[in-house]
Structure 1
């Protein structure tokens, strides 16, 4: 698992997608490999495995090499540093003996990462680590069918699900194992655009047209909002989704949901880790980025289509959210499309 990290050139902004991997002892290789190989294909303009548009690091609990459950040794590429502003932090589990009773310092660190609104991805038995940290209470969690009974006993407040390739709920993305390519493709589509997501599936020999029923609904809406175990939140998210171009006052949204403005924000913060206003703005920014990647519409037109006052308003929030301007983002998308289109 060697990697080539390309230095930033000409003052380029941060990559589209950054992921920190914490490899637990005896981690399952298949899901980690499926996720990182997908990133590798999306990370470069060609196929030189340079970490340009996507970047990742391997870390371990003691900064020493670990061995996967299949016997493959892996050395960390970076010291374990929870202060980094990753787009996602992955806890890669495997054999339950290594994840049933994780150290308290790790649980504390994961709670802090979650409080900073950095999504945590659990692979395989990594869900047991998140469960021990109390991050799955009241939330759905995708787990492997072989661990369901023990998971229920250990975490009675969590909601285990065994028929999903992954679940996003409350800032935790749980993946029960397998290849994790579905999860990787959707992350890449969300952060890097549809073209590079299709490139990944093509070169991993995945037929994107022959998707199982569990993925069909996701294909209809390339950036589906999270689904939460709260009727008010789900009802409001549906309203937000249908008013991306014309946000209505949140007081009216709260009235629509039958709660007060204060209650609305409390519920949203508990379920999504964001206030209702921030969640809605992030949805609109994601839609704007999708339109920039997949259309030739002007920034003014995209601003109007996503509920921003004008182009400068959108540019300011886009730069704050993604660390670059829409024009620089689009420029890199065009370069990638030229290289990978036949």
Structure 2
């Protein structure tokens, strides 16, 4: 059961990831039927400010002793360093030895790795850190693609929004779907995305070349209902199909088919939010053709059904 939540803050923390943790566990929603959390932000030296590169500071009011009775200890993202405070690492090890659940958000996994807690454990982190993380923690069983990994007492998540997914997953796992859905609705986020869903960018996207494909991409977006073949895209770009595929992957990080499907799903999300069109109409308007095909791709990419997405994100009566 999750009752006491301790977030461990270190110097050069990342404010968005801290904000995610605060939003999920630090907002009192008991008046709406939400779970009651005892949430605390802890630091090695309580009362002393910890800074972020955005130019402001946060002052933790609780020391590392705040981890002792915590049911969940969270390590938000922070700047990647060569080493970390021995006191913080010792506190994380002690929490793990007590059986406390640990959650890292994005680069927070580095602190768990430095504490030796990810040795022979499944884990993940943001895709941009994958190579460096594997070099520094070769014993960690790193999955570079997924949004988050639940390895029982340790949950690790990828960047930014994946931290929301991991937090809501833990609420669902420990308290139930009703509590998780209530928090998600208040935050106006998707109530559930499977941890095994791939990170939004599969691989780091290289610098765009001088033979940019933006005019071709713009042409695709002008009419998503058209079946854009690789041969047709190559003709527009004045390239061979092989060259087109190479440049397309370099500039978008994925294949033409997957990129087109993603754009269609993005457009479907907009139509679900802003219109009263049914699923079959949206399928035709996005070029996906049929409702079942739209549902298949939508759930695979977004993590929920179109109906669930509309229920979560439609805040007022949509336009016809």
Q: Normalising by structure 2, what TM-score?
A: 0.55
Match for residue 92 of structure 1 among 49, 68, 76 = 76
- Any conservation in 1 of the 2:42–2:66 contact (CA below 8 Å)? no
- Any conservation in 2 of the 1:42–1:199 contact (CA below 8 Å)? no
Deviations 1:214-243 (A, max 9, x none): 469xxxxxxxxxxxxxxxxxxxxxxxxxxx
Q: Which runs of 5+ in 1 are unaligned?
A: 1-14, 217-342
Rounded Cα–Cα distance in structure 2 between residues aligned with 1:42 and 1:197: 14
Rounded Cα–Cα distance in structure 2 between residues aligned with 1:207 and 1:91: 23
Pair 213,119 (structure 1): closer, same or farther in 2 beyond 3 Å: closer
1:128 counterpart SS class: helix
1:96 counterpart SS class: coil
Map 1:118-129 → 2, pairs under 5 A? 118-129=100-111
- Any conservation in 1 of the 2:112–2:118 contact (CA below 8 Å)? yes
The range that moved more, 172-181 or 51-60, is 51-60
Q: Which runs of 5+ in 2 are unaligned?
A: 199-320
User: Which of the two has higher C-alpha Rg?
Assistant: 2
| Residues 1:30 and 2:16 aligned together | yes
- Any conservation in 2 of the 1:111–1:135 contact (CA below 8 Å)? yes
Match for residue 68 of structure 1 among 52, 66, 72 = 52
User: Which residue does 1:139 correspond to in 2?
Assistant: 121
User: Which residue does 2:99 correspond to in 1?
Assistant: 117
Rounded Cα–Cα distance in structure 1 between residues aligned with 2:189 and 2:26: 15
User: Which residue does 2:175 correspond to in 1?
Assistant: 192
User: Which residue does 1:168 correspond to in 2?
Assistant: 150
The RMSD of aligned alpha carbons is: 2.7
Rounded Cα–Cα distance in structure 1 between residues aligned with 2:2 and 2:96: 20
Report the Cα offset of residue 72 of structure 1.
3.2
User: Which residue does 1:155 correspond to in 2?
Assistant: 137
User: Which residue does 1:226 correspond to in 2?
Assistant: none
- Any conservation in 2 of the 1:82–1:113 contact (CA below 8 Å)? no
- Any conservation in 2 of the 1:20–1:90 contact (CA below 8 Å)? yes
Rounded Cα–Cα distance in structure 2 between residues aligned with 1:37 and 1:162: 26
User: Which residue does 1:333 correspond to in 2?
Assistant: none
Report the Cα offset of residue 87 of structure 1.
0.8
Deviations 1:154-196 (A, max 9, x none): 1111122222222122522112231322112122223333222
Rounded Cα–Cα distance in structure 1 between residues aligned with 2:132 and 2:195: 28
2:150 counterpart SS class: strand
- Any conservation in 1 of the 2:101–2:153 contact (CA below 8 Å)? yes
